[in-house]
Every structure is written in structure tokens, then in C-alpha cells.
Amino acid sequence: MPRRKKGTKKDRCNTWVECEIYERLKELSRRRGSSVYNYINELVETSIELEDRGVTASAAGEVLIAWNLLKAAGLIVSPILGGSLNEWKGAGVRLGTLIKHNSLDVNMAIKVFSMIMECLGHVEVQGDRVIVAGIRSNEDTIKSTVEMINAASSTAGIKLEVKYENGVVLLERKE
């Protein structure tokens, strides 16, 4: 059990982290204009709140990375609806360039593409496959989204294939 310091506004417990991590925490807290103590408490409290909701901190971080990539490519979840097929492909090329520039692996790219496909219907991720069923978008939006993701994966050099058949969108890793 950690030692407690008594007599402060709140009881405090000592804990230990590796020196390298502590130095990074010091730098990040300095940039935020916060004390290391307050910054660590904020990080830990946020992580605990996420875990209580069934989300790991690393999963939340991955979603945030994906969201920021989509935002940077101008594709906040529902990309350029109504645009021409060339506009969708152009958005895919921009997204693929960002994926490549940020050195994202195939699994992270699949998470990004899954977020995009949320606008089409119910998304189910099964390892290297993503299935979208219960489609609620029109044919043009579906076909444009498929072309955009194919353009993004091609530009990023990621071997994925997205196709639309029998009312289902399927994204699979190509060998």
C-alpha cells in the first residue's frame, strides 16, 4: 500500500514512474502551464473515467488520431456529401497522403476507414475485415465512399480492398 501524506488538503499517495516518463510529464505539464502533480492527476483521472466507461486510454487515443486525420483531410465523418466522384477520390488521395505521412500501420488505417464508413450503416470490425450492413445511404454515396477509401489505401500504399455487393460494404486486407 502506498505511503500517505497526512495534513494536506487531500490525502496524497506516493507513486513511482520511470525517470524517462517523469521527464516527459514534466515537459508536457510545463507546456500546459500546470504542475506535474496536477497534470498527472488529470491524466490518471481521465484514464480511470474512460476505463469505467469500458474504453481503454489507448483505444481513445487511436480514435482521436483517426478523428484528427479525418479533420485534417477535410472529411469529418460524412465526407463531401453530394460532391462528384473525382472530389471523393481527391479526398481519398489527401487522406492516403496523411496516413502515409503519419506512418500509420494497416490496423490504424482500418480504424480510420471504419470511422468514415459509420456514415453508411452499422460497422462491424472483424480483425482485418470491416463489414457495413444496414446501409442507410444512397447508392451514389456508397459508391463514392468505396472509391474514396480505395484511393486512400492505394495512395498510402496499404493493401486493402473495399467493395459494395448485395447491400453490404466489405473492406478486406489484400495479401
pLDDT at 142: 85
pLDDT at 8: 56
Per residue in 11-44, pLDDT (tens digit) is: 778 888 899 989 998 998 999 899 988 888 888 8
d(CA 68, CA 111): 13
- The span from the first CA to the last CA of the chain, in angstroms, equals 50
pLDDT at 77: 46
pLDDT at 51: 78
pLDDT at 23: 92
pLDDT at 103: 83
The conformation of residue 134, written as its DSSP 8-state character, comes to S
d(CA 115, CA 16): 37
Contact 152, 93 (CB under 8 A): yes
Contact 120, 132 (CB under 8 A): yes
pLDDT at 20: 93
What separation in angstroms does the CA of 75 have from each of 128, 159, 165?
A: 23, 21, 24
pLDDT, block means (10 residues), the chain with 175 residues: 55 83 90 89 83 73 70 56 78 88 83 82 85 83 88 92 88 85
Domain residue spans of the chain: 16-52, 57-173
Contact 138, 170 (CB under 8 A): no
Contact 11, 2 (CB under 8 A): no
Backbone angles phi, psi at 73, to 5 degrees: -85, 0
